[in-house]
Chain A
Amino acid sequence: MRKKNLLAVTLMVLCVGLMACGGKEKEAETQAQTQQEQQKAETGYVFENKGLTMNIDGNVTDYVAKLGEPSGGYYEAKSCAFEGLDKFWYYDGFTLQGYQKSGAELVYAITFDDDTVKTKEGVKIGDSKEKMTSAYGSNYKQDGNMYSYVSGNMELQFTVKDEVVMGITYALKAE
């Protein structure tokens, strides 16, 4: 009888241990998330269009309300299995991409689609790499054709081919 009790107590201790462990893990996750959110309070490089200043992790719903109906339409893509959508608003010259976080719709990326728009610092698609470095300096992170300037919670990415800027994206910094 005592042995049975011992066994039952052991299993209960194990279960409680697992539960406690899970609780601690979740607490740590929450703390880490709070820290990350605090770090992301810095907006980094911003994009201006039609008098509106937009930044990564800014409220995309507000931006869309102010920018109006996207001329190129709206598209949404679901993830392969999980809930959640990537949302794209196609405006003249740029694409606004949103994602969901903690119930809010935030800006995930702003991608230039042609040379009719430029960064706040004056660089557009078709400009030379030299113009990019004049505007942003040489403190970039390079990965193949991609030159990234990290600031706050975001990266301003330039795709450069043959010394010419072919693409510009404001993107959420990779974790």
Chain B
Amino acid sequence: MLKKVAKVVAFLLIFVLGILGIQHLLIPKYVTDIKEGSMIEEYYKSEKNNDVLFIGSCQFFENISPVTMWEEYGITSYIRGSADQYIWQSYYLLEDALRYETPKVVVMNVHSLSIKKETVEESYNRMTIDGMKWSMSKVNAINASMTKDETFMSYLFPIVRYHSRWDELTEQDFKYYFNKPLVTTKGYLMQVGVRPLTTKPRVPVLADSEFDKENVEYLQKAADLCKEKGIKLVLLKAPSVFPHWYDEYDEQVEKFAKDNDLLYINAIEENEIIGIDYSTDTFDYGQHLNVQGAEKFSKYLGKVLDKEYNLADHRNDDNIAKDWNEVSKRYYEEKETKLKEWKE
């Protein structure tokens, strides 16, 4: 009898492992294409000793270089970034990160306040949520993010979502089955091209300039959580010329910052001080910065954060510097390779 039970258990175990194995194969690897899909899970592989945590979308992970802030000021930081990261996802990513570390400063992207919930896309949900480790933060992020056509089950068992990829599998899916290389340096996704801003985009009239109430509620939850943990929360609008950052948006963030006694940095207004030149410092006509622009912006941002919060300079702390020196080395190798490819 016992032997029979053992055989059944062994069969079930092999069956489940087989399913999990197939599931892992079918989930996109996001290593060479759409690298943004790898960013959330990459955080778990990093050192968790950051003084500053940035949480936001491409306006953060393509505009801020943590390596530059390390080199200039000895600030340790990480960007928990993902494509089109919605504000409720930023909140749950913050909650998730605080399970591993307690930074001194958290910087959140206010651009996401302007995103309307009805424009949420499943593909972006997956790129942010799939990479999160399981916790109540992930469960809540799923529930807050799902579009009407999505199911919780598809997040619990991604094979439900990706089973139809069987005929789209590429060499990548097998090559990176067990181990994926890092696609970022401390959350920064490097872009080196130069596509100058030659046409200033027109600004359409807004039918509704008020942030969704729910978006503001999530920002409030983030502010409350940071306050509870003794973390300084900073609100940041990163430099960009498109999509337009309306005065009405700016006023609402200013008011929120004032009501909650927070620092709000609108980098668009600081453009001259930062020194961004949209004829050389952008890879996509002013929507995001290239590495040259990101380094300029990071020097400015590091200076502001250092001055406001008197952050420690860790460059002489051997334990921390060892990791950062390795990251810096990788950063410059990547920069050199990509610049060479771009020039060709």
Interface set of A (CB-CB < 8 Å, partner B): 3, 7, 10-11, 14-15, 18-19, 21-23, 25-26, 72-78, 80-82, 88, 90, 95, 111, 113, 143-146, 157, 159, 166-167, 169, 174
CB of B185 closer than 8 Å to a CB of A: no
Bound-state CA distance A166–B203 (Å) is: 13
* Chain A residues closer than 8 Å to B163, beta-carbon distance: 18, 21-22
Q: Is the interface of A mostly helix, strand, loop or mixed?
A: mixed
Cross-chain contact B7 with A25 (CB below 8 angstroms)? no
- Which residue of A7, A22, A72 is within 8 Å of B11 (Cβ)? A7
| Stretch from B171-179, B194-202, B270-278, B331-339 that touches the partner | B194-202
Bound-state CA distance A74–B202 (Å) is: 10
- Which residue of B159, B166, B202 is within 8 Å of A95 (Cβ)? B202
CB of B167 closer than 8 Å to a CB of A: yes
Bound-state CA distance A88–B164 (Å) is: 35
Beyond A22-B167, A73-B199, 14 additional contacts (C-beta under 8 Å) are: A14-B18, A73-B198, A75-B199, A77-B284, A77-B285, A78-B284, A80-B57, A81-B36, A81-B58, A81-B127, A143-B207, A159-B205, A159-B206, A167-B205
Bound-state CA distance A19–B167 (Å) is: 8
Cross-chain contact A78 with B205 (CB below 8 angstroms)? no
Cross-chain contact A144 with B127 (CB below 8 angstroms)? no
- Residue pairs across A and B with Cβ atoms less than 8 A apart, 19 shown, are A7-B14, A7-B15, A18-B159, A22-B165, A25-B164, A72-B199, A73-B200, A75-B201, A77-B285, A78-B284, A80-B124, A81-B124, A82-B123, A88-B202, A90-B202, A111-B204, A113-B202, A146-B207, A159-B207
Report which residue of A18, A111, A143 has the largest number of chain B beta carbons within 10 angstroms of its beta carbon. Answer: A18
CB of B19 closer than 8 Å to a CB of A: yes
Nearest CB to that of B162 among chain A residues? A22
Q: Mark B60-84, 1 if CB is under 8 A from A, else 0.
A: 0000000000000000000000011
CB of B287 closer than 8 Å to a CB of A: yes
Cross-chain contact A166 with B205 (CB below 8 angstroms)? yes
Interface size class of B (residues with CB under 8 A): 35 or more
* Chain A residues closer than 8 Å to B159, beta-carbon distance: 18
CB of B34 closer than 8 Å to a CB of A: yes
Cross-chain contact B201 with A80 (CB below 8 angstroms)? no
Q: Mark B106-136, 1 if CB is under 8 A from A, else 0.
A: 0000000000001000011001000000000
* Chain A residues closer than 8 Å to B22, beta-carbon distance: 14-15, 18
Cross-chain contact A81 with B205 (CB below 8 angstroms)? no
Shortest CB distance A114–B (Å): 10
Cross-chain contact A77 with B242 (CB below 8 angstroms)? yes
- Which residue of B14, B36, B124, B164 is within 8 Å of A21 (Cβ)? B164
* Chain B residues closer than 8 Å to A74, beta-carbon distance: 199
* Chain A residues closer than 8 Å to B127, beta-carbon distance: 81
Cross-chain contact A3 with B7 (CB below 8 angstroms)? yes
CB of B37 closer than 8 Å to a CB of A: yes
- Which residue of A7, A22, A95 is within 8 Å of B204 (Cβ)? A95
Bound-state CA distance A7–B15 (Å) is: 8
Q: Mark B277-294, 1 if CB is under 8 A from A, else 0.
A: 000000011010000000
* Chain A residues closer than 8 Å to B199, beta-carbon distance: 72-75, 90
CB of B208 closer than 8 Å to a CB of A: yes
Cross-chain contact B207 with A22 (CB below 8 angstroms)? no
Cross-chain contact A18 with B208 (CB below 8 angstroms)? no
Q: Which of B241-273 contact A (CB under 8 A)?
A: 242-243
Bound-state CA distance A82–B36 (Å) is: 9
Shortest CB distance B94–A (Å): 20
Nearest CB to that of B21 among chain A residues? A11
* Chain B residues closer than 8 Å to A11, beta-carbon distance: 15, 18
Nearest CB to that of B210 among chain A residues? A144
Cross-chain contact B164 with A26 (CB below 8 angstroms)? yes
Q: Mark B204-223, 1 if CB is under 8 A from A, else 0.
A: 11111000000000000000
